[in-house]
């Protein structure tokens, strides 16, 4: 029954850190919303300077892809909150870390379009009615997805390496709370 009690204690909202949750949220928003938007903004400026006949359609397609990436990143951003809220060494962090890395792999697959990027250029020059550019990076995407799979197992390694430190911090917090309670009850504030 000790394991069940430890798990319940670890999932308690009292044992999380709001600062960690906010920091994790800010980092996730920066990585999955601000960064793609900024890259697309700079790429859009570069497309305006290229003298390709169908640059407007390419720019529209790029913004459509970026908005899809940001839309699919919302679960990652939401999952980053409990990942940052619960401390390393807590049972509560493990399922959220696993879900985060699993969805990160799926997001990378979606972002890379399965590893094959296709760009339709339309009419490029006189005599060329349309041009399609395919970039095959499937092997790179597979390697990144294997890294995401390994990160799932890293959640267990992080737990094992930080559990003792987490329990000491938890015990120290309980001692501090009990001392405050005793002072409050005795009237010495």
Q: What is the pLDDT of residues 62-71, one digit of tens each?
A: 777 788 888 8
53 pLDDT exceeds 80? no
Structural Rg of the chain based on CA atoms = 24
Question: Quick check: 81 and 97 in contact, CB under 8 A?
Answer: no
Per-residue confidence (pLDDT) for residue 4, from 0 to 100: 85
Find residue 134's DSSP bridge partners: 118
123 pLDDT exceeds 70? no
What does pLDDT average to over the chain? 82
d(CA 62, CA 55): 10
Residue identified by tokens 């909150």 is 81
pTM: 0.77
d(CA 71, CA 62): 14
d(CA 169, CA 179): 15
d(CA 119, CA 87): 43
Per-residue CA distances from 89 to 86, 152, 165, 188 (Å):
9, 15, 7, 35
Q: Tell me which of 161 and 184 has the higher pLDDT.
A: 161
Per-residue confidence (pLDDT) for residue 101, from 0 to 100: 93
Domain ranges for the chain: 2-113+149-186
Per-residue confidence (pLDDT) for residue 135, from 0 to 100: 77
Segment 5-41, tens digit of pLDDT: 888 888 888 888 899 999 999 999 999 999 988 888 8
Instruction: Give the dihedral sign, CA 162/166/167/172.
Output: positive
Q: What is the DSSP letter of 127?
A: T
d(CA 158, CA 162): 6
Q: Tell me which of 135 and 49 has the higher pLDDT.
A: 135
134 pLDDT exceeds 80? no
Q: Tell me which of 147 and 182 has the higher pLDDT.
A: 147
Per-residue confidence (pLDDT) for residue 36, from 0 to 100: 87
């Amino acid at each position: 029954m000790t394991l069940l009690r430890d798990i319940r204690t670890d999932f308690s909202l009292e044992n999380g850190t709001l600062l960690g949750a906010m920091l994790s949220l800010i980092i996730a928003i920066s990585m999955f919303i601000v960064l793609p938007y900024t890259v697309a903004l700079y790429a859009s400026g570069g497309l305006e300077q290229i003298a390709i006949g169908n640059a407007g359609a390419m720019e529209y397609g790029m913004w459509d892809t970026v908005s899809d990436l940001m839309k699919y990143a919302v679960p990652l951003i939401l999952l980053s909150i409990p990942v940052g809220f619960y401390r390393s060494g807590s049972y509560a962090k493990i399922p959220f870390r696993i879900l985060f890395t699993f969805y990160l792999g799926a997001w990378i697959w979606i972002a890379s379009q399965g590893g094959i990027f296709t760009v339709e250029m339309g009419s490029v020059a006189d005599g060329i009615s349309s041009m399609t550019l395919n970039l095959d990076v499937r092997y790179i995407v597979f390697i990144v997805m294997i890294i995401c799979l390994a990160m799932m197992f890293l959640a267990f390694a992080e737990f094992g390496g930080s559990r003792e430190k987490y329990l000491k911090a938890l015990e120290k917090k309980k001692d501090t709370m009990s001392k405050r309670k005793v002072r409050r009850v005795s009237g010495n504030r």
